[in-house]
Structure 1
Amino acid sequence: MKKLLFSFSLALIAHAALAQLNPSTREMDRINWMEFADFVPEHITTVLLPTGTLEPHGVINNGADNTAPTAMAKYIAENLNALIAPTLNYGITGSMAAFPGAFQITEEAYRPFIRDILKGLAKNGFKNIIILNGHGGGQTKVLQEVAAEVANELGVRTLVLNWWSFASDITFEVFDEDGGHAGLNETAYIQAIDPTLVHKEKYSTDMTTAYPASGTWSASPFPSSIGLYKEGQGYPNFDQAQADEYFKKVNSKVSAFIQDIIKKWDMAGL
């Protein structure tokens, strides 16, 4: 009987230790406040913040810039021992703001908003604030500037990562060509997440325009919802196997990079 009780006690201790390492959910808007307090910051010091906007994306969903970093965060959170902050679904859309369903938040509104969110994450005990950004243009500049300011002001560590440009080498590895906004790479990433968000029956090459070489021309609104990085490259191909491969390889690269950055922060005592 004593042996049985001892074994049972060991099992309870092991279960408690495991629970300390793995919260019931990685999502901040689903976790209970008492469980949050049990884990942050004693056991979890990293938070992933997906950011995006609503704008046209060829034949994929208007919220692709939100769908992609949100799915990425869920895929890599456990490996990074991180929690996931709620996605910021509205952003600085820019030249595609005139398209149906798009939203444009001004920099004057966005800058203090993102600042307060980052400060709130720091206040809640996170040391590493990782912004997984799904939308470029002027939004990237604001995120980088505000993240750096908050890091210096509050002594936290911030990283802003634009996944599509960071993983451009993966685009070439999987597809043997460059991608584009709502092009081959972004469409594939969304297709891997949820094929029902891809409406290939609506696709036409007439929906594409190559982005101009710097300073050669400018159009507002941008004339197409698919913008190719290079002329003649990046047209969506809707290949599910390549989409799945791309999704996994991009996520693996992003996760490894974040791990390396945190390791180097720690080694430097920052």
Structure 2
Amino acid sequence: MYMMDLTASKFKEIKSSVDTVLLPIGMIEMHGPHCSLGTDVWIPREFVRRLDQRIGDRVLMAPEVAYGHSWGLAPFEGTIDISAEAFSQYVYEIGKEFHRNGFEQIVLFNGHGGNIPSLTTVAEKLADLGMKVLTINWWVDYREQILEITKGPGHGGEDETSLILAIDEKLADPSLAGDHQVNMNPKIKYEKSGKVLFKDGYLGNAGAATAEKGERLYEMMLELVLSDIEDLWRVAYESVN
């Protein structure tokens, strides 16, 4: 169920049967010349829509966090970069408030790579409050399975672009992109190194993306996400028994 649809009295009522909240987290940033600036928001939002159809009676779907940290893409037009410190504290405060409101489990459903270090810290701090925390970074967690469908993944690459096309083909145009690969060690950082790594604001074979591939990715990953959430519930159940 969507939190924004609830009245305060309904919210209070559902807490007697729902103890898990899912927080979608994204980013507004450059995704090449071919993909929406909101790609990292659109994809978690679509997962939430599909998850709500399957487990909406057991999970509260919280409003999304649309802005995150993107040091590497900050030099590009359209990127709204929030400092790691401010972003981390903000998400932590949201999680803390859900805990104060009685939620014992939280799923941090992340759509952006630059958020990962911050969310690792947030998860640990929320766990210290007593919450059970599941963090999902779909392109990392399910990479092996993704490569069975899209061979050219990357920021704004074949996987992300396909997922966007499956939502709405007006949000991406793969004909504007090709296959951008850079022989650069991403662990090395220097001022505006993202301009070199991503060149035109993307990485991977975006030109090979299709809506059909995106739909296959959603169908495949939805089952993996559900399995991860079931694991979260299993841990929560075992901890009280």
Give TM-score, length-normalised by structure 2: 0.89
Tell me how far apart the structure 1 counterparts of residues 135 and 174 of structure 2 sit (CA, whole Å).
32
Tell me how far apart the structure 1 counterparts of residues 235 and 207 of structure 2 sit (CA, whole Å).
37
Cα pair distance change 1:101/1:119, threshold 3 Å: same
* 1:195 matches 2:172: no
Look up the match of 1:259. 230
Match runs of 1:1-270 below 5 Å: 26-40=1-15, 42-58=16-32, 59-80=34-55, 81-137=58-114, 139-153=115-129, 155-175=130-150, 177-205=151-179, 208-210=180-182, 212-213=184-185, 215=187, 219-221=193-195, 222=197, 223-228=199-204, 234-269=205-240
> Does the CA contact (< 8 Å) of 1:54 and 1:90 recur in 2?
yes
Tell me how far apart the structure 1 counterparts of residues 54 and 159 of structure 2 sit (CA, whole Å).
24
Amino acid across the alignment from 1:264: V
Amino acid across the alignment from 2:10: E
Tell me how far apart the structure 2 counterparts of residues 32 and 217 of structure 1 sit (CA, whole Å).
47
Cα pair distance change 1:28/1:50, threshold 3 Å: same
| C-alpha RMSD over aligned residues | 2.0
Could you give the per-residue CA deviations for residues 59-109 of structure 1, whole angstroms, max 9, x where no partner exists? 111111111111112211343321111110111011111211110101232
Deviation at 1:248, TM superposition (A): 1.2
> Does the CA contact (< 8 Å) of 2:162 and 2:212 recur in 1?
no
Cα pair distance change 1:77/1:148, threshold 3 Å: farther
Deviation at 1:261, TM superposition (A): 2.5
Q: Structure 1 runs of 4+ off > 6 angstroms?
A: none
Deviation at 1:212, TM superposition (A): 2.4
Tell me how far apart the structure 2 counterparts of residues 76 and 164 of structure 1 sit (CA, whole Å).
17
> Does the CA contact (< 8 Å) of 1:167 and 1:250 recur in 2?
yes
Q: Give percent identity, aligned residues only.
A: 25
Could you give the per-residue CA deviations for residues 21-74 of structure 1, whole angstroms, max 9, x where no partner exists? xxxxx111221111111101x111111101111111121111111111111122
**Greater Cα offset, 166-175 or 65-74:** 166-175
Amino acid across the alignment from 1:150: L
Tell me how far apart the structure 2 counterparts of residues 236 and 259 of structure 1 sit (CA, whole Å).
36
Which protein is bigger by CA-based radius of gyration?
Answer: 1
SS of match in other structure, 1:173:
coil
Higher relative contact order (CA 8 A, sep 6+): 2
Where structure 2 has 5 or more consecutive residues not aligned to the other structure, the ranges are none
SS of match in other structure, 1:161:
strand
